Structure 1
Amino acid sequence: MATSTQPAPAQRRPRQESTTGSGVTFGRVLKSEWIKVTTVPSTVILIVCTVVVMVGLAALFAWSVSITADALNDPDFPAEFRPPAEGPGSPGFDAFTAPSSGLVFGQLLIAALAVVLITSEWTTGMIRSTMVAVPRRTPALLGKVIVAAVIAFLVGFGSALLSYLIAQPILAGENIDFAITEDGVFPSIINTGTYLALVAVLSMAIGILLRNTAGGVVTAVGIFFVLPLIVQLLSGLADWVMDAARFLPSFAGTQLVAIEIMDDDLTQWEGGLVMAAWALGLLIVALLVAKKRDI
């Protein structure tokens, strides 16, 4: 009688779950946001344009200062237009501001870039994909803010350093060049990047609150350009207007990169703290509002 032997059931190997590379971490959020920013051609072009504008304006400013210095040695130059030989307004004094002289327009471009980076997520609907990949809103938005701030710092610091290197040969023709190791010069170059980083944080917060590109850019321009002009127009009405104006973001940022501090002005540290309070305060408000609102 033939017997058959049942084959032994195949032993299944225990399924090993891969623990490497799983999960969403804040480091990966930062990496994904960095890839988003650096792979978009329009963003890269705007960053390059910001550097070119800041360095170009610094070169023009250095050239203007050198022409002014040459006027001091011209006996035929009208006395009523002759600049002072020393102190504020003199060529030797103004030369120290050459590395950061492109900051006025640099902050406009960085503010516009920061607003576009965040509001384009809502304009294109990509914010839904972002929130699916990173369900917690605060890390997702905070990752965008940090990446924008890092890029703005690198743009500001790199532009100020290039501006210094380009301005020195121009200023040397009138013997008003200066070493980067002189008091306050290198900190001013670093703080140019710090100020633009804070501008990016403040502008990103505006974009998170408004979720509209045009509205965000107009609001940022109003804060950094229009509001200081209004304050200057109203300065003659009351003394307290100019005292309060010192705590506006643009005035505080100017003091952050200043080398020489005038009487009654904020110091570099005070200007930096005021600007940081504006940027971080508005960012906290924006993150809290974003958690309560629908996508």
Structure 2
Amino acid sequence: MNPTVPHPAESALASGDTATAPTRGPRTFEPDPTLPGLSFFGVVRSELSKLLALRTTYWLSAITLGLSALISGGVAWGFSSFSDETSQLMLAEGAMTGLYFGLLLLGALAVISMTTEFTTGAIRSSLTVVPRRNLLYLAKTTAITLLVAVVTAAVIIACHLVAALFSGELEVLAPFSDSEVGYVYLTHWISVIITALMGFGLGALLRSSAGGIVVLTIFIFVVQIVVAILYGVTQGAEWAEMLMRAEYSYLVMEFTSVDAVRDMELWQSLLGVFAWAAVPFGLGWLTFSRRDV
């Protein structure tokens, strides 16, 4: 039987001859040029997957849909039962009454879409995968915008169908045959999206779900109540009227109203709505890109 022949390296180590012992250097890695790089649309798909994985997304979307449709049906039934003269425009505007709660609910969803990663600490993983913060912020913005746009469109369609069901005056194809009805639905859709961007910016700025939702509620509802009280107490003082015309809910109402009942030009109301959303969105972007996690 032949004796086991030792490996040359083992013989060298046993004899103390380290000069002939093989050495292992650090492993080197080289990027594969055939692999695709980090793309904007790839990051957007990733952010959409995160949003769809949140149960909060489905809860807030379902509540917005159910509440808006319920109010739409109630308003349409009230018009058909207690009003002698109704028009398609009146019914369409009434159908959108419940969507004002959607401003807050879907705006809160936008807040949570940003703050949830800061709460759980998952933002560190996101920034590791996507170290370019501006790219990540824009991808998150695009993802929440697409989601809110789809949900809001579904809510508007549901509200319209419910209103048409409870009232014979509103035709199912009215958004396509009546330009005023189509305008009301389109501007409400845009308003919800802009409000969601405001909420998203507040989430990035404050990094707190509770704080962002509270501030958003103040912008949408509380400021309106305070300004209305000031306007009444001062008996319509000029400065109080200026405040009333500058608050967010009033601008949204002006933007979604048709020409016959609008107090300001369309571009003025739209510019005001954008300004309200642009300030927190821009500050949130600045904070996200420069502040440590």
TM-score (ref. length: structure 2): 0.81
Deviation at 1:18, TM superposition (A): 4.0
Match of 2:58 in 1: 44
**Counterpart mapping for 1:19-58 below 5 A:** 19-58=33-72
What residue in structure 1 maps to residue 170 of structure 2? 177
Percent identity for Structure 1 against Structure 2: 27
Instruction: Report deviation, 1:107.
Output: 0.8
Residues 68, 91 of structure 1: 8 Å contact kept: no
For 1:72-108, what per-residue CA distance to the aligned partner results, in whole angstroms no more than 9, with x for missing partners?
Answer: 4xxxxxxxxxxxx6xxxx7776323123111211111
Deviation of 1:254 (Å) = 1.8
Q: Distance in 1 between matches of 2:32 and 2:124?
A: 28
1:193-252 deviations in whole A, cap 9, x for unaligned? Answer: 211111110001111111111111111111101010001000131233223322222222
> What is the match of residue 251 of structure 1?
250
Aligned to 2:99: 103
Distance 1:91 1:68 in 2: 14
The whole-number CA distance in structure 1 between the counterparts of 2:254 and 2:151 is 19
Q: 2 CA distance for matches of 1:223 and 1:285?
A: 16
Q: How does 1:67-146 map to 2 (within 5 A)?
A: 67-69=81-83, 72=84, 94-146=90-142
1:59 maps to 73
Task: Work out the CA distance in 2 between the residues paired with 1:24 and 1:183.
Answer: 43
Task: Measure, in 2, the Cα distance between the counterparts of 1:107 and 1:47.
Answer: 11
- The answer on 1:290 being equivalent to 2:293 is no
Alignment-derived partner of residue 203 in structure 1? 199
Superimposed CA distance per residue, residues 112-149 of structure 1 (whole angstroms, 9 cap, x where no aligned partner): 11111111111100111111111111211221122112
Q: Is contact 2:56-2:109 (8 Å) kept?
A: no
What runs of 5+ residues in structure 2 fail to find an aligned partner?
Answer: 1-28
Please list the CA deviations of residues 136-173 of structure 1 after superposition, one character each: whole Å capped at 9, or x if unmatched. Answer: 1121122112211222122222211221122123221x
The answer as to whether partners of 1:96 and 1:259 remain within 8 angstroms in 2 is no
In structure 1, runs of 5+ residues without a counterpart are 1-14, 73-84
State whether residues 205 and 284 of structure 2, in contact with CA within 8 Å, keep that contact through their aligned partners in structure 1.
yes
Match of 2:154 among 135, 155, 158: 158
Aligned length: 259
Q: Are the equivalent residues in 1 in contact too, given 2:92–2:181 (CA < 8 A)?
A: yes
Task: Mark the CA change 1:114 to 1:194 in structure 2 (over 3 Å): closer, same or farther.
Answer: same
* Preserved contact between residue 188 and residue 256 of structure 1 (Cα < 8 Å): no
Report deviation, 1:47: 1.4
Contact 2:44 2:143 in 1 (8 A): yes
Correspondence for 1:279: 277
Amino acid at match of 2:277: A
Structure number with bigger Rg: 2
AA paired with 2:64? T
Partner of 1:262: 261
Over aligned residues, Cα RMSD in angstroms? 2.2
Letter in 2 for 1:45: W
CA distance in structure 2 between the partners assigned to 1:92 and 1:152 by the alignment: 26
CA contact (8 A) 2:75 2:95 kept: no
8 A Cα contact 1:57 1:102, kept in partner: yes
CA contact (8 A) 2:92 2:184 kept: no
| Distance in 1 separating the partners of 2:246 and 2:120 | 36
CA distance in 2, matches of 1:166, 1:154: 18
Which secondary structure state, in structure 2, belongs to the residue aligned with residue 184 of structure 1? helix
Q: d(CA) in 2 for partners of 1:119 and 1:185? A: 36
Give the match's secondary structure for 2:261.
coil
